[in-house]
């Protein structure tokens, strides 16, 4: 029997769900937007020595993430507006530095400085836009949803899996400065990112807490968690909370962030 040669990691990453879903029109719009920003910045520099405005710099993001980064939970691409600045900055760095792979994102940020990435992260983090209503229709059965809720709220101690809420907050809307919300996201996006942690296609600087957790999940766990999270309503207070309890495992996203003290 013939054996197939291993697929190079770069090609494995290239076959991501996002790549399969990307329409050609998005690529054209992205290329046009990046070119327009470069032209605007060059013109600004020619006339006044000024840089392009931040609105011009984030214009390419609209192609996938929606105007002002407020995409709905019905598509693939995640919402950007209102997420913790530290989290957004870390992800932009990861796309640039090879810890995450998405062809469009790599193309967009590959030559950007930390200063530019920080400006973009700050811009989206400061936006305060309402979330759209979350759809409650799902093809997941009651057992799958119950398992998803259990993993999110309680974890699985026997397998060393902490509850999602123990890091992402009781409201599941993230924790400042670096842990993202889990609600208001497309089911497919949640599943694909958990899958990327499982397979090693996504990583973070050490201590890489999500890689440790992700490798303990299986496909049934991922499907259950994604199905349950995708139909949960976003609370009225949708901003990330301050950390009020120790994390179950060290995590680069928090970088020795002190606990919030009660007043």
pLDDT in tens, 163-175: 999 999 999 999 9
Q: In CATH terms, is domain 10-125 a member of 1.10.760.10?
A: yes
H helices, E strands: number in the chain: 13, 0
pTM, two decimals, is 0.81
Quick one: pLDDT band at residue 67, thresholds 50, 70, 90?
A: confident
- Answer whether residue 49 shows pLDDT above 90: no
Residue 130 CA to residue 68 CA, distance in Å, equals: 11
CB 235 within 8 A of CB 171: yes
Overall size of the chain counted in residues: 263
Quick one: pLDDT band at residue 200, thresholds 50, 70, 90?
A: very high
> 254 in helix, strand or coil?
coil
- Answer whether residue 33 shows pLDDT above 70: no
Please give the mean pLDDT across all residues of the chain: 84
Helix axes 187-199, 219-230, angle to 10 degrees: 150
| CATH superfamily for domain 142-230 | Cytochrome c-like domain (1.10.760.10)
CA distances from 238 to 122, 132, 234 (A): 17, 12, 7
Q: For the chain, what are the domain ranges?
A: 10-125, 142-230
Q: Note whether 10-125 and 142-230 share their fold.
A: yes
Q: What is the pLDDT of residue 42?
A: 46
């Amino acid at each position: 029997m013939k054996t197939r040669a291993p697929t190079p990691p770069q090609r494995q990453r290239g076959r991501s769900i996002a790549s399969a879903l990307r329409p050609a029109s998005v690529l054209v719009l992205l290329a046009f937007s990046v070119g327009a920003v470069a032209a605007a910045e060059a013109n600004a520099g020619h006339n006044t020595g000024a840089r392009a405005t931040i609105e011009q710099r984030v214009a390419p993001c609209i192609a996938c993430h929606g105007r002002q980064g407020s995409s709905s939970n019905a598509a693939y691409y995640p919402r950007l507006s209102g997420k913790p600045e530290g989290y957004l900055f870390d992800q932009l760095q990861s796309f640039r530095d090879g810890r995450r792979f998405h062809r469009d994102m790599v193309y967009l940020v590959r030559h950007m400085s930390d200063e530019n990435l920080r400006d973009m992260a700050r811009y989206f983090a400061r936006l305060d836009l309402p979330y759209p209503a979350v759809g409650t229709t799902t093809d997941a059965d009651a057992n799958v949803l119950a398992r998803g809720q259990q993993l999110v709220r309680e974890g699985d101690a026997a397998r060393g899996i902490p509850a999602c809420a123990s890091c992402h907050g009781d409201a599941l809307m993230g924790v400042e400065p670096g842990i993202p919300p889990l609600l208001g996201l497309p089911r497919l996006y949640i599943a694909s990112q958990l899958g990327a942690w499982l397979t090693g296609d996504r990583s973070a600087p050490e201590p890489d807490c999500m890689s440790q957790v992700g490798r303990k999940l299986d496909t049934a766990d991922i499907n259950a968690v994604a199905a349950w999270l995708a139909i949960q309503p976003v609370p009225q207070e949708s901003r990330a909370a301050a950390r009020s309890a120790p994390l179950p495992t060290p995590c680069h996203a928090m970088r020795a962030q002190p606990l919030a003290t009660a007043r």
